[in-house]
């Protein structure tokens, strides 16, 4: 079978790999669509593990099912989550599923950017979801990134009437905009450097948009909140400047959400004195669990988040180098999709 093997962001090769063999409690899925995630573009994160097959936002159809698989059948259309927790460890019992040791050890094989991938038993049992016929495979790939955003919004405890700032209007930034409104925010302010993304944010419910090259985000945020600053600032851009901006726009007692990691050598200086007296909380949110993926699927089914508007580019699997180049370089792209058509 064909698979896209990642060596670097500029070196992704279509190679022939053996089709994965499945066990009696596993399934083989034909990938039909898989989105490129921002983490797929972070060379510092991927280089130590290369070469490897990426792709953790896959949707497809089951083509083989083991003899002991009871809940799924050949032909089922599914979204498959690449990581699942054990449900019994110290972290899982406290609802901290993404900190579970097994969470990091469970993966689809070889990855979503392949014609076929194996779904291990744990993934199949815990977080493989059937998708309705009315939903396209492309739309279903958004379950994972939307799930990540739902988890962040819940961890930050967004309340009805809150003011929320979203810094970085890529796909997850825009999803945070939509979710902030669904969870009851009265004012959502979005900051990004590119007009295309700010316009997209408006379509998804942003009340105020700011390009920080021409406006002062802090001044705008304070003007929109009676001088307080926002209740929650979600940073989806992996830059120190974005995090400094996030801290600056938070009100006393507000929350800064760390949603995008920076490279390991990028360190942010924070005054513990200021943190102490302002009581700003810093809340990281990594990945998503089986809880949020189900919520995400329901939001997509109901149309409350319009996945079609988030998908701006589509490439066949054999064109994956072009897909990555677009995701890396285009200033007018949101979700870039890789497809494996019949």
Q: At what angle do helices 195-203 and 171-182 cross, to 10 degrees?
A: 30
Same-domain check for residues 15 and 133: yes
Same-domain check for residues 45 and 68: yes
Same-domain check for residues 115 and 239: no
| Cross-strand pairs, 203 | none
Is residue 151 situated within a structural domain?
Answer: no
Is residue 74 situated within a structural domain?
Answer: yes
Same-domain check for residues 293 and 276: no
Is the CB of residue 239 less than 8 Å from the CB of residue 262? yes
Concatenate the DSSP letters of all residues of 58-105 into one string. EEEEEEEE-TT--S--TT-EEEE-S----SSSTTGGGT-GGG-HHHHH
CATH of the domain at 174: 3.40.50.720
- For 46-80, the pLDDT digits (tens) are 999 999 999 999 999 999 999 999 999 999 999 99
What would the mean pLDDT of 293-303 be, rounded to a whole number? 97
Residue 341 confidence (pLDDT): 82
Residue 342 confidence (pLDDT): 67
Same-domain check for residues 137 and 171: no
User: Model's pTM, two decimal places?
Assistant: 0.97
Is residue 14 situated within a structural domain?
Answer: yes
Domain that holds residue 317: 2-146+288-339
Same-domain check for residues 142 and 14: yes
What would the mean pLDDT of 130-148 be, rounded to a whole number? 97
What would the mean pLDDT of 313-325 be, rounded to a whole number? 97
Same-domain check for residues 27 and 140: yes
Is residue 232 situated within a structural domain?
Answer: yes
Among 7-11, 138-142, 208-212, 313-317, name the one with the lowest average pLDDT: 7-11
The count of residues in the chain is 342
Same-domain check for residues 266 and 202: yes
Is residue 140 situated within a structural domain?
Answer: yes
Is residue 202's pLDDT more than 80?
Answer: yes
Same-domain check for residues 23 and 121: yes
CATH of the domain at 75: 3.90.180.10
Is residue 299 situated within a structural domain?
Answer: yes
Looking at the structure of the chain, the number of domains it has is 2
Is the CB of residue 334 less than 8 Å from the CB of residue 199? no
Average pLDDT, the chain: 97
Is residue 230 situated within a structural domain?
Answer: yes
| Cross-strand pairs, 191 | 167, 210
């Amino acid at each position: 079978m064909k698979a896209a093997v990642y060596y670097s962001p500029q070196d992704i090769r279509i190679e022939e790999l053996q089709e994965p063999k499945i066990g009696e409690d596993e399934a083989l899925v034909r990938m039909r669509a898989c989105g490129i995630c921002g983490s797929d573009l972070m060379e510092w994160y991927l280089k130590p593990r290369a070469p490897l097959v990426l792709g953790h936002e896959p949707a497809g159809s089951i083509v083989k099912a083991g003899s002991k698989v009871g809940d799924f059948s050949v032909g089922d259309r599914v979204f498959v989550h690449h990581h699942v927790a054990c449900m019994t460890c110290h972290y899982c019992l406290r609802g901290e599923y993404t900190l579970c040791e097994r969470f990091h050890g469970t993966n689809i094989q070889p990855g979503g950017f392949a014609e076929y991938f194996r779904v291990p038993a744990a993934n199949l049992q815990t977080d493989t979801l059937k998708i309705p016929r009315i939903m396209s495979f492309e739309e279903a790939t958004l379950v994972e990134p939307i799930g990540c955003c739902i988890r962040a919004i819940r961890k930050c405890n967004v309340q009805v009437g809150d003011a929320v700032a979203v810094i970085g209007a890529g796909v997850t930034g825009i999803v945070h905009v939509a979710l902030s409104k669904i969870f009851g925010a009265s004012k959502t302010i979005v900051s990004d450097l590119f007009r295309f993304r700010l316009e997209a944010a408006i379509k998804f419910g942003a009340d105020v948009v700011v390009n920080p090259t021409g406006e002062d985000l802090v001044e705008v945020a304070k003007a929109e909140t009676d001088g307080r600053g926002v209740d929650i600032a979600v940073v989806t851009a992996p830059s120190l400047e974005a995090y400094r901006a996030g801290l600056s726009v938070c009100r006393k007692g507000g929350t800064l959400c760390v949603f995008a990691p920076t490279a390991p050598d990028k360190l942010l200086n924070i005054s513990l004195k200021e943190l102490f007296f302002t009581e700003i909380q810093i809340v990281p949110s990594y990945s998503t669990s089986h809880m949020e993926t189900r919520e995400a699927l329901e939001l997509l089914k109901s149309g409350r988040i319009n996945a079609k508007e988030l998908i701006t580019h589509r490439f066949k699997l054999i064109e994956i180098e072009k897909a990555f180049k677009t995701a890396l370089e285009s200033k007018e792209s949101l979700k870039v999709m890789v497809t494996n058509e019949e």
